[in-house]
Protein backbone atom coordinates (compact mmCIF):
# COMPACT_ATOMS: atom_id res chain seq x y z
CA UNK A 1 0.00 0.00 0.00
CA UNK A 2 2.82 2.40 0.85
CA UNK A 3 4.35 1.77 -2.56
CA UNK A 4 1.06 2.64 -4.30
CA UNK A 5 0.66 5.84 -2.31
CA UNK A 6 4.31 6.72 -2.87
CA UNK A 7 3.93 6.18 -6.61
CA UNK A 8 0.93 8.49 -6.77
CA UNK A 9 2.63 11.18 -4.67
CA UNK A 10 5.79 10.95 -6.77
CA UNK A 11 3.73 11.22 -9.96
CA UNK A 12 1.96 14.35 -8.75
CA UNK A 13 5.30 15.86 -7.75
CA UNK A 14 6.75 15.06 -11.19
CA UNK A 15 3.68 16.62 -12.84
CA UNK A 16 4.16 19.83 -10.84
CA UNK A 17 7.90 19.94 -11.55
CA UNK A 18 7.46 19.45 -15.31
CA UNK A 19 4.71 22.07 -15.55
CA UNK A 20 6.62 24.56 -13.40
CA UNK A 21 10.00 24.14 -15.12
CA UNK A 22 8.74 23.99 -18.70
CA UNK A 23 6.20 26.76 -18.06
CA UNK A 24 8.99 28.92 -16.62
CA UNK A 25 11.17 28.26 -19.64
CA UNK A 26 8.26 29.18 -21.90
CA UNK A 27 7.69 32.46 -20.04
CA UNK A 28 11.39 33.30 -20.16
CA UNK A 29 11.87 32.44 -23.83
CA UNK A 30 8.54 33.69 -25.24
CA UNK A 31 8.07 37.35 -24.28
CA UNK A 32 4.60 37.57 -25.86
CA UNK A 33 3.47 34.63 -23.72
CA UNK A 34 4.87 36.17 -20.55
CA UNK A 35 3.09 39.43 -21.37
CA UNK A 36 -0.39 37.82 -21.55
CA UNK A 37 0.05 35.05 -18.96
CA UNK A 38 -1.41 37.01 -16.04
CA UNK A 39 -4.55 37.97 -17.98
CA UNK A 40 -4.76 34.52 -19.65
CA UNK A 41 -5.42 36.06 -23.05
CA UNK A 42 -3.47 33.44 -24.97
CA UNK A 43 -3.24 33.06 -28.74
CA UNK A 44 -3.90 29.70 -30.38
CA UNK A 45 -0.19 28.74 -30.48
CA UNK A 46 0.10 29.65 -26.81
CA UNK A 47 -2.90 27.49 -25.87
CA UNK A 48 -1.49 24.59 -27.89
CA UNK A 49 1.87 24.99 -26.14
CA UNK A 50 0.13 24.94 -22.75
CA UNK A 51 -1.76 21.78 -23.71
CA UNK A 52 1.47 20.16 -24.92
CA UNK A 53 3.17 20.94 -21.60
CA UNK A 54 0.21 19.48 -19.72
CA UNK A 55 0.26 16.37 -21.91
CA UNK A 56 3.99 15.85 -21.40
CA UNK A 57 3.66 16.32 -17.65
CA UNK A 58 0.72 13.90 -17.51
CA UNK A 59 2.55 11.23 -19.52
CA UNK A 60 5.55 11.65 -17.20
CA UNK A 61 3.31 11.29 -14.15
CA UNK A 62 1.87 8.03 -15.45
CA UNK A 63 5.33 6.76 -16.28
CA UNK A 64 6.69 7.53 -12.81
CA UNK A 65 3.75 5.85 -11.11
CA UNK A 66 4.19 2.68 -13.15
CA UNK A 67 7.92 2.57 -12.44
CA UNK A 68 7.22 2.72 -8.71
CA UNK A 69 4.19 0.42 -8.44
CA UNK A 70 2.76 -2.37 -10.60
CA UNK A 71 -0.80 -1.54 -9.49
CA UNK A 72 -2.97 -0.68 -12.51
CA UNK A 73 -5.33 1.36 -10.31
CA UNK A 74 -2.48 3.34 -8.76
CA UNK A 75 -1.14 4.06 -12.25
CA UNK A 76 -4.27 6.02 -13.22
CA UNK A 77 -4.84 7.67 -9.84
CA UNK A 78 -2.64 10.71 -10.59
CA UNK A 79 -4.85 11.44 -13.60
CA UNK A 80 -8.01 11.02 -11.54
CA UNK A 81 -6.65 13.31 -8.80
CA UNK A 82 -5.55 15.91 -11.35
CA UNK A 83 -8.98 15.76 -12.99
CA UNK A 84 -10.75 16.28 -9.66
CA UNK A 85 -8.40 19.16 -8.82
CA UNK A 86 -8.71 20.89 -12.19
CA UNK A 87 -12.47 20.67 -12.75
CA UNK A 88 -13.22 23.50 -10.27
CA UNK A 89 -10.28 25.53 -11.60
CA UNK A 90 -11.53 25.23 -15.17
CA UNK A 91 -15.07 26.08 -14.10
CA UNK A 92 -13.62 29.28 -12.64
CA UNK A 93 -11.76 30.19 -15.84
CA UNK A 94 -14.39 28.86 -18.26
CA UNK A 95 -14.90 32.23 -19.99
CA UNK A 96 -11.17 32.76 -20.64
CA UNK A 97 -10.70 29.77 -22.95
CA UNK A 98 -12.67 28.10 -25.74
CA UNK A 99 -14.54 24.95 -24.79
CA UNK A 100 -12.21 22.75 -26.88
CA UNK A 101 -9.31 23.84 -24.68
CA UNK A 102 -11.06 22.86 -21.44
CA UNK A 103 -12.29 19.57 -22.85
CA UNK A 104 -8.91 18.66 -24.36
CA UNK A 105 -7.09 19.32 -21.10
CA UNK A 106 -9.61 17.74 -18.73
CA UNK A 107 -10.53 14.71 -20.83
CA UNK A 108 -6.89 13.86 -21.55
CA UNK A 109 -5.70 13.66 -17.93
CA UNK A 110 -6.72 10.08 -17.17
CA UNK A 111 -5.96 8.56 -20.61
CA UNK A 112 -2.53 10.22 -20.81
CA UNK A 113 -1.69 9.07 -17.29
CA UNK A 114 -2.65 5.54 -18.33
CA UNK A 115 -0.59 5.87 -21.54
CA UNK A 116 2.49 7.04 -19.65
CA UNK A 117 2.13 4.08 -17.31
CA UNK A 118 1.66 1.75 -20.24
CA UNK A 119 4.93 2.88 -21.79
CA UNK A 120 6.71 2.19 -18.51
CA UNK A 121 5.22 -1.30 -18.33
CA UNK A 122 5.52 -2.40 -21.95
CA UNK A 123 8.22 -0.14 -23.36
CA UNK A 124 8.01 2.12 -26.40
CA UNK A 125 5.66 1.27 -29.27
CA UNK A 126 8.45 0.12 -31.58
CA UNK A 127 8.89 -3.63 -31.53
CA UNK A 128 12.54 -4.35 -30.82
CA UNK A 129 14.03 -7.71 -30.11
CA UNK A 130 16.10 -8.34 -27.01
CA UNK A 131 19.23 -7.92 -29.13
CA UNK A 132 18.11 -4.41 -30.11
CA UNK A 133 17.20 -5.24 -33.70
CA UNK A 134 13.76 -4.58 -35.10
CA UNK A 135 11.64 -7.67 -35.60
CA UNK A 136 10.13 -7.99 -39.06
CA UNK A 137 6.68 -9.31 -39.86
CA UNK A 138 5.40 -9.23 -36.29
CA UNK A 139 7.14 -12.43 -35.31
CA UNK A 140 8.55 -13.16 -31.92
CA UNK A 141 11.78 -15.04 -31.28
CA UNK A 142 11.28 -18.71 -32.18
CA UNK A 143 8.22 -18.02 -34.33
CA UNK A 144 8.43 -18.37 -38.09
CA UNK A 145 6.59 -16.28 -40.67
CA UNK A 146 3.85 -18.87 -41.31
CA UNK A 147 2.93 -18.93 -37.62
CA UNK A 148 2.72 -15.15 -37.59
CA UNK A 149 0.51 -15.13 -40.71
CA UNK A 150 -1.75 -17.78 -39.21
CA UNK A 151 -2.09 -15.73 -36.03
CA UNK A 152 -2.85 -12.58 -38.05
CA UNK A 153 -5.56 -14.28 -40.11
CA UNK A 154 -7.35 -15.43 -36.94
CA UNK A 155 -7.45 -11.89 -35.53
- Provide DSSP, 2-65: HHHHHHHHHHHHHHHHHHHHHHHHHHHH-HHHHHHHTTT---HHHHHHHHHHHHHHHHHHHHHH
Determine, yes or no, domain membership for 74.
Answer: yes
Report the distance separating Cα 24 and Cα 8, nearest Å. 24
In a domain? residue 143: no
CA 39 to chain centre: 27
How many CB atoms neighbour CB 50 within 10 A? Answer: 21
* Model confidence pLDDT, tens digit, residues 4-37: 999 999 999 999 999 999 999 999 999 999 999 9
Terminal-to-terminal C-alpha distance of the chain: 38
Q: Is residue 103 part of a domain?
A: yes
Tell whether 153 is covered by a domain.
no
In terms of residue numbers, what domain contains 67? 2-125
| Average confidence (pLDDT) over 132-139 | 40
Q: What CA–CA distance (Å, rounded) separates 131 from 127?
A: 11
In a domain, 72, yes or no: yes
Where does 93-144 have alpha helices with state H? 99-122
Mean pLDDT, residues 89-109 taken together: 97
Q: How many domains does the chain have?
A: 1
- The tens digit of pLDDT for each residue in 53-62 reads 999 999 999 9
Q: Please, what is the average pLDDT of the chain?
A: 86
Q: 3-state DSSP call for residue 128?
A: strand
Residue 13 lies in a domain: yes
- Cβ–Cβ under 8 Å, residues 78 and 65: yes
Amino acid sequence: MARKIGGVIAALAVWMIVVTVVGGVMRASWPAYAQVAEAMTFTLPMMLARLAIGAAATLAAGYVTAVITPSAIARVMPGVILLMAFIPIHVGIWEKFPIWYHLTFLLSLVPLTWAGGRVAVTGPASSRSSSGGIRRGGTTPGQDHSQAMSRASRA
